[in-house]
């Protein structure tokens, strides 16, 4: 920025002005005193404040905008990024002709809007965080800070191009926490080819969002409407840009490009002590641009994250075996335009659109056009008539567990036949047509062999799966061989056991590449059958969320049923909250974050996932903690898939854990979202109290945690429930609110319980009014089999009694 020395007259006028400390309202006019250090503008609703600040441990000063009422100063815009003030004598001044200037104590212009010829200019800070300069009788917009973002995008701000004004708006990271000058990362709209957002490190592409598909960007399947944000994309004659809106008036939102190159979306609700991270990118290896090279495909569902697209092979097999994927993949069979076909790739992040084009065509029209154009090597269609076609290599493709986009990749006819099994069928038909008598005889023999095989199978022990290839296709996960598992766990050494459940032991292991794993080995007499095992594998393979444990693979050799998970150092939540020593490691803030994280994961299962999942065995031992004590829901062996519009289901085979099961599920076999809500409520009360749901204390008249919590609530003494390990570190109003939410979740009637969507809002915003809870229901162990274990299937006919809590 050009530095201009003002006349000495201006300097003396500024030096002679007496700074008035405090707030000046939300606007400035030419007749107002300059905004000096110690003075500020505050938006009408008190949401944002503009003034001078010192970032981090720096000594230089900057003019910026931040959220006013959030304890930790969150700066969203900086004016003089490249020209900091050396002392506290700076001033922001609005001239008569509408030029907004930031002057140093020596009268040097450090920053300016470079506007002029305005009539009656007015500077105003809006509740959106936008600093606007208007002028004239109709208050024409002369300048606004939203057109010059720094590292943060706020609701209503655009990222992209304004064609009429030839304006490109994009984010640039800070250099460091103490230096807001432009860093090396930028996040901007790429308009070459088909538009997409791209994260750059200098001139190196680090991440891209993929094209807009109508619901969100192809690379962010979790951008679907969620009750908090509404994402918008505009592409017309006036401009091309992306924006978002916050749907709840009690919620604040922002997205920031941090100094390490992470684009993070945050949510803050009234009463929160800090910002909650909603999601971030890049999130893993598959988010790194072209991590698998050209024509490669990345997925977090496999032990090896990179594979070649079907019909392609590694260009450098030796390097590929060493997990060096930069050379990518090449076609296994050359194309022949007249006979080529297309192979679908499901749940995909669409390839880099730099070499793509977009037209308006239906699915059939798009496919025909690409088939007849020999240069077209892939196509995709969304919003029914938006046709994208690619030319050249396919770059930066990845698979999601719950994505919606489909890519049609051009392959040679022989490759399609091989993949579809057509070539084998043709050969068989040819042999049969030539040697019909022999074929008939073989068919009879084959039928006899199959009959004998089926008979032996019904008489003997059934095998879990047919073949490794069939299993891998069905379960959508790689199958580890048993030798790999035995080596990783030191041949299932007892010293490697890190847990024991109703299904069998869990071992810690380490693969040859150093990756630590948790190996869940189902015992031969485990109550989890083949169906539960398949359910757990298939369900987790389709789910991706930071609050769900990640399944790496499985093993079915030698009649084993083994699940391989990511290893989490801190093991399960119950090991902390029910241990007097380790419980002290979970302060109030961490317990709050754990409860909110579990709620977020459960909300994903019930509402935000492509599949609607009812877990059915939520408990503290099934909540695992990573290195930073972030919760991850695990153990999906008893989970069920619901249809989107399905409310409940009935079963005669009740599975779950005593103390966490809802009464309607335990008594009648009816389970639904509200069954999981009940279990969540029990966990909330356990986390806050440090007491198990089944017992409280020999000195208490109530032997059940729900009964104990309800008695204290009715007596107005609910804070007595709080774990002594928390001491006085918590907010009374906040912990009371969490206890109330827990009691709302465990109400006797399922219809009275809130949904997880309601629960998440209740926990996140103190402006959401909470109803008074009605009494919970509880039952004693005598109502069930006495040898109740962690997971114990029971028949409803064996239930004898349920004891309800009387009004206290």
Catalytic positions, written as ranges: 617
For residue 249, how many other CB atoms are within 10 A of its CB? 8
Give the SS3 label for residue 687. Answer: helix
For the record, the structure tokens of 685 come out as 């009360």
Q: Calculate ∠ Cα 770-772-775, nearest 5°.
A: 135
Half-sphere exposure of 735 (CA within 13 A, CB side): 26
For the record, the structure tokens of 416 come out as 């399609």
For the record, the structure tokens of 463 come out as 């095998």
Half-sphere exposure of 161 (CA within 13 A, CB side): 16
Half-sphere exposure of 85 (CA within 13 A, CB side): 27
CA distance 676 to 494: 34
CA distance 710 to 335: 71
Q: H or E element: which one contains 430?
A: helix 422-434
Cα–Cα distances (Å) from 533 to 475, 636, 658, in that order, read: 10, 9, 22
Burial 686-714 (b: 16+ CB within 10 A, else e): bbbbbbbbbebeeeeebebbbbbbbbbbe
CA distance 701 to 297: 61
Q: H or E element: which one contains 408?
A: strand 407-411
> Do 614 and 562 contact (CB within 8 A), yes or no?
no
> Do 161 and 168 contact (CB within 8 A), yes or no?
yes
Give the SS3 label for residue 392. Answer: coil
Which residues, 6+ apart, have CB-to-CB distance to 804 below 8 Å? 748, 775, 777, 778
E strands along 487-533, which residues? 497-501, 504-510, 516-521
Question: DSSP states of 577-642 as a string?
Answer: HT-TTGGGGS-HHHHHHHHHHHHHHHHIIIIISSSEEE-S---GGGEEE-TT--EEE---TT-EEE
CA distance 721 to 688: 7
Give the SS3 label for residue 257. Answer: strand
- Radius of gyration (Cα) for the chain, nearest Å? 31
Question: DSSP states of 726-754 as a string?
Answer: GTT-S-HHHHHHHHHHHHHHTBSSGGGSP
Would you mind telling me the total number of residues written for the chain in this entry? 808
Residues facing residue 52 across a β-bridge? 63
CA distance 63 to 75: 10
For residue 614, how many other CB atoms are within 10 A of its CB? 22
Single out the residue of 600, 593, 591, 595 nearest to residue 546, CA to CA.
Answer: 600
For residue 419, how many other CB atoms are within 10 A of its CB? 14
Q: What is the DSSP letter of 479?
A: B
Residue in this structure with the two tokens 């879990």, named with its chain if needed: 464
Q: How close are the terminal C-alpha atoms of the chain, in Å?
A: 72
Q: Calculate ∠ Cα 348-297-306, nearest 5°.
A: 135
**Alpha-helix residue ranges (DSSP H) falling in 322-412:** 363-372
Single out the residue of 634, 612, 610, 609 nearest to residue 621, CA to CA.
Answer: 634
Q: What is the DSSP letter of 301?
A: S
């Amino acid at each position: 920025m050009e530095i201009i020395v003002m006349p000495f007259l201006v300097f003396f006028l500024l030096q002679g002005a007496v700074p008035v400390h405090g707030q000046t309202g939300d606007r400035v006019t030419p007749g107002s005193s300059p905004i000096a250090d110690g003075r500020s503008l505050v938006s009408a609703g008190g949401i944002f404040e503009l003034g001078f600040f010192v970032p981090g441990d720096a000594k230089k000063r900057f003019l910026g905008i931040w959220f006013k009422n959030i304890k930790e100063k969150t700066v969203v815009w900086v004016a003089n990024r490249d020209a900091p003030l050396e002392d506290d004598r700076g001033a922001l001044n609005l001239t008569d002709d509408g030029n907004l200037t930031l002057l140093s104590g020596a009268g040097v212009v450090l920053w300016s809007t470079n506007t002029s010829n305005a009539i009656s200019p007015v500077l105003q800070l809006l509740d959106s965080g936008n600093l606007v300069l208007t002028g004239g009788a109709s208050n024409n917009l002369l300048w606004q800070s939203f057109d010059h973002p720094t590292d943060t995008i706020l609701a209503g701000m655009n990222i992209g191009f304004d064609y009429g004004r030839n304006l490109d708006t994009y984010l640039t990271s800070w250099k460091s926490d103490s230096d807001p000058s432009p860093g090396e990362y930028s996040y901007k709209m790429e308009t070459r080819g088909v538009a997409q957002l791209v994260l750059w490190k200098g001139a190196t592409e680090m991440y891209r969002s993929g094209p807009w598909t109508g619901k969100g960007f192809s690379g962010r399947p979790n951008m679907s409407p969620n009750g908090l944000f509404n994402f918008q994309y505009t592409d017309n004659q006036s401009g091309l840009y992306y924006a978002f809106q916050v749907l709840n008036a009690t919620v604040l939102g922002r997205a920031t490009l941090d100094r390490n190159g992470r684009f993070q979306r945050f949510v803050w609700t009234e009463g929160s002590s800090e910002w909650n991270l909603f999601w971030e990118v890049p999130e893993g290896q598959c988010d790194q641009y072209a991590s698998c090279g050209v024509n490669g495909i990345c997925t977090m569902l496999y032990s090896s994250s990179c594979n070649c697209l079907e019909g392609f092979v590694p260009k450098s097999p030796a390097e590929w075996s060493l997990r060096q994927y930069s050379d990518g993949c090449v076609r296994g069979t050359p194309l022949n335009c007249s006979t080529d076909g297309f192979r679908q790739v499901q749940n995909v992040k669409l390839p880099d659109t730099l070499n793509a084009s977009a037209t308006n065509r239906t699915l059939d029209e798009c496919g025909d056009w690409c088939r007849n154009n020999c240069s077209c090597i892939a196509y995709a269609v969304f919003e029914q008539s938006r046709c994208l076609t690619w030319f050249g290599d396919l770059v930066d493709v990845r698979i999601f567990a719950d994505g919606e986009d489909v890519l049609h990749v051009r392959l040679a006819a022989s490759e399609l036949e091989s993949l579809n099994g057509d070539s084998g069928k043709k050969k068989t038909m040819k042999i049969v047509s030539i040697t019909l008598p022999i074929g008939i005889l073989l068919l009879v023999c084959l039928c006899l062999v199959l009959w004998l095989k089926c008979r032996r199978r019904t008489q003997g022990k059934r095998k879990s799966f047919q073949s490794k290839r069939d299993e891998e296709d069905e379960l959508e996960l790689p199958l580890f061989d048993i030798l790999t598992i035995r080596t990783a766990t030191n041949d299932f050494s007892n010293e490697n056991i890190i847990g024991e459940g109703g299904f069998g032991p869990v071992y810690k292991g380490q693969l040859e590449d150093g990756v630590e794993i948790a190996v869940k080995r189902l015992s031969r007499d485990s109550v989890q059958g083949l169906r539960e095992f398949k359910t757990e594998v298939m369900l987790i393979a389709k789910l991706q969320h930071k609050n769900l444990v990640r399944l790496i693979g499985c093993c079915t050799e030698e009649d084993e049923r083994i699940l391989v998970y990511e290893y989490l150092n801190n093991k399960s939540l119950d090991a902390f909250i029910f241990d007097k020593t380790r419980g002290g490691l979970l302060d109030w803030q961490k317990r709050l974050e754990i409860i909110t994280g579990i709620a977020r994961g459960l909300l994903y299962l019930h509402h935000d996932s492509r599949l609607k999942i009812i877990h059915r065995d939520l408990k503290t031992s099934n909540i695992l903690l990573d290195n930073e004590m972030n919760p991850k829901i695990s153990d999906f062996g008893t989970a069920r898939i619901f249809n989107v519009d399905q409310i409940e289901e009935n079963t005669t085979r009740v599975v779950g854990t005593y103390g966490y099961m809802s009464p309607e599920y335990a008594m009648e076999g009816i389970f639904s979202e509200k069954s999981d809500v009940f279990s969540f409520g029990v966990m909330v009360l356990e986390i806050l109290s440090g007491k198990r749901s089944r017992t409280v204390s020999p000195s208490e008249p109530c032997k059940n945690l729900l009964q104990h919590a309800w008695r204290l609530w009715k007596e107005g003494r609910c804070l007595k429930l709080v774990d002594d390990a928390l001491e006085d570190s918590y907010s009374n109003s906040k912990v009371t609110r969490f206890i109330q939410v827990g009691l709302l979740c465990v109400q006797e009637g399922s219809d009275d319980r809130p949904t997880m969507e309601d629960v998440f809002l209740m926990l996140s915003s103190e402006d959401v009014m909470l109803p008074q809870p009605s009494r919970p229901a509880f039952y004693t162990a005598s109502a069930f089999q006495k040898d109740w274990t962690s997971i114990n299937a029971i028949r409803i006919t064996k239930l004898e009694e349920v004891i309800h809590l009387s009004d206290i």
